[in-house]
Amino acid sequence: MSGRRAAVLAVMALAMFALKRHYSTAEVEDLRWILWPTSTLVALVSGSAFEFERGAGYLSREHFFVIEKSCAGLNFMIAALGMIGFRLSRDAGRARPGAWIVAQSVAQSVALSYAAAVLVNTLRILVAIWLSSADLPSGWWTAPRVHRLEGIAVYFGALMVLNQMARAT
């Protein structure tokens, strides 16, 4: 393993650790850097207003839906950061000498994982709002279970698409 690749992987691991630590201790107010763009996009696409409620998150009174801390998509962003960073670190290892390639790989990974987290979370929330009005839950399939199934399918499907995009570039 080249020194440059090791450097990219080390910085990426530190970034993932810092994000996870931030997420575990953050209040919803501390997560506005990711919740605000997500709620703005959801509001734009759905045409419903989302207002920030202290201690709760972004609330849609129309849909009776709250984009709260657990809806932030941070775990998806961390997984995407690791996956993209690991892929880009290979290119950094093969590239011509230059310390800038390490910074470039890290910056690209962080930017891509953040953009992906906002977009994918927007999609997940839009589908969740639609599902909540579709009256699907019945028997064992309660509303939280349907919500969980949808979240895992959307997040994991998006990781697969991101992986394909990273491999293609």
Partner 1 sequence: MKAAIASTFRGASAPLSWYYAIAVAVPILNGAPLDRPFLEHVAFVLVVPPVVVTLAGLFRGLRR
Identify the residue among 10, 44, 152, 165 touching partner 1 (CB under 8 A).
Answer: 152
Question: How far apart, in Å, do the first and last CA atoms of the chain sit?
Answer: 21
Query: Is residue 141 close enough to count as binding partner 1 by CB under 8 A?
Result: no
Of 94 and 145, nearer to partner 1 (C-beta) is 145
Identify the residue among 10, 14, 49, 153 touching partner 1 (CB under 8 A).
Answer: 153
Query: Is residue 75 close enough to count as binding partner 1 by CB under 8 A?
Result: yes
Query: Is residue 125 close enough to count as binding partner 1 by CB under 8 A?
Result: no
Identify the residue among 82, 95, 104, 123 touching partner 1 (CB under 8 A).
Answer: 82
Query: Is residue 48 close enough to count as binding partner 1 by CB under 8 A?
Result: no
3-state secondary structure 32-98: HHHHHHHHHHHHHHHCCCCEEECCCEEEECCCCEEECHHHCCHHHHHHHHHHHHHHHHHHHHHCCCC
Both structure tokens of 37 = 């763009």
Q: How many CB atoms lie within 10 A of CB 31?
A: 21
Of 1 and 168, nearer to partner 1 (C-beta) is 168
Q: Is 84 exposed, middle or buried (0-12, 13-18, 19+ CB in 10 A)?
A: buried
Query: Is residue 108 close enough to count as binding partner 1 by CB under 8 A?
Result: no
In the range 17-36, which residues lie near partner 1 by CB under 8 A?
20, 24
Please list, in sequence order, all residues whose beta carbon lies within 8 angstroms of the beta carbon of residue 40, skipping any fewer than 6 positions away. Answer: 50
Strand partners, 51: 59
Cβ at position 53, least distance to partner 1 in Å: 25
Binding site for partner 1 (CB under 8 A): 20, 24, 75, 78-80, 82-83, 86-87, 145, 148-149, 152-153, 155-157, 159-160, 162-164, 167
